[in-house]
Structures are given as structure tokens and as C-alpha cells.
Chains A and B, each alone.
Chain A
């Protein structure tokens, strides 16, 4: 079964850090471009970051550039998102997605003191 499972969300204070992980299974992960998309409570979908299949090319939304880092480990079929200098407005459900036909169920990030 083709599947993506996110983990690593939680409660963090403003200015803190978190590392999200996305475990892929059921498809050739190393041949797939991947992305992180987030959704704040009651809001629409917002693209966060993308990475090419090889990991060479990485792209970021202006709202997270310089604070978030996307990476992948093709040997482990894992996608990551390192979140640093977190702000209240980063609170959201974070989804990982294989462009664009497979999505995980999401992991929730809460930023609060």
C-alpha cells in the first residue's frame, strides 16, 4: 500500500525548534519529488517546501526560507523538515506529499508559550 506517515509534531515555545519526519512506503521513494504543505487552523493549504528526488534541488516559501530546512534520506525512505525559530504563525497541521497524488494524514505543530 502506498503510504506516507508524518511524525514529530508537538507543542513548542516561540523561538524553539522541531523536526518533522515523513515515512514513505509502497512506492519508489528515491524517484519521487516530495513536498511539505501546511494548514493553519481554519485556513487554506499553504505550500512550505519541496525537494527533488535526488535531494539536490530544494525550494522554500518566502514565509519559511532561512528558518526551515527540507531534507531526505532515500536509504531510509524518509523525508524531513527541520523547523527553527518557530513563530505563532507557524502553528498548523503539516502534511507531506508525493507530487501530488499521495498525502499523509498530517502532524500538528503548536507554537505557544
Chain B
């Protein structure tokens, strides 16, 4: 059974730092790309960051670029998000999500989608 379990969330002051983790099990972790997606209280979903299966390619949302760093340890089946210079607007539930690439019946690629999600970890930025 595929499982993604986030941890490390908590209360942090504005300008502070926090590192959250996502432990994966039930699949071959180093074959999959991983992402972080967040959801502010009462709001919609916002994609935050992507990391390739090898860790060599990363992408960030403009709102976090230069402040957040995504990484992974394939030996530990884990993905991380280091968050620096935190702001009140970073307050959200942070989900890790596995990205799986899908193919149609003819074998043509039809994109990568978030097929498994963790339960989320709450990050609150407040003084």
C-alpha cells in the first residue's frame, strides 16, 4: 500500500525557518517524482515545488522561490522542504504528493498527475 506521511510542521515566527519531511512507503521511491502542495486555511490548493526522481531537477512556485528548498534522500525514501524567511502567508497545510506519468492506449504520454497524497502537516507562521 502506498503511504506518504508528512511530519515536522509547527508554529514558527515570521522570518524563521522550518524543515518538513515526507516519508514514503509501499512503492519504489527512486522511480517517482515528488511534489509539495499547500493549502492555506479555507483556501484552494497551491503547488509549491517539484523534484525529479534523481533529485537533479527542481522547480518552485514564484511565491517561494529563493526561500524554500526541496530535496530528497532516496536511501531513506524521503522528500524534504526546507523553508526559510517564513511569512504569515506561508501558513498552510503542506501536502507531499507523488507524481505519476500516465500514457494513453497508444502509449503516448499524457502528462504527470498527483496520484497519491499524504495527510498533510500544518505550518503556522505567527508571532
Q: Are A and B part of the same complex?
A: no
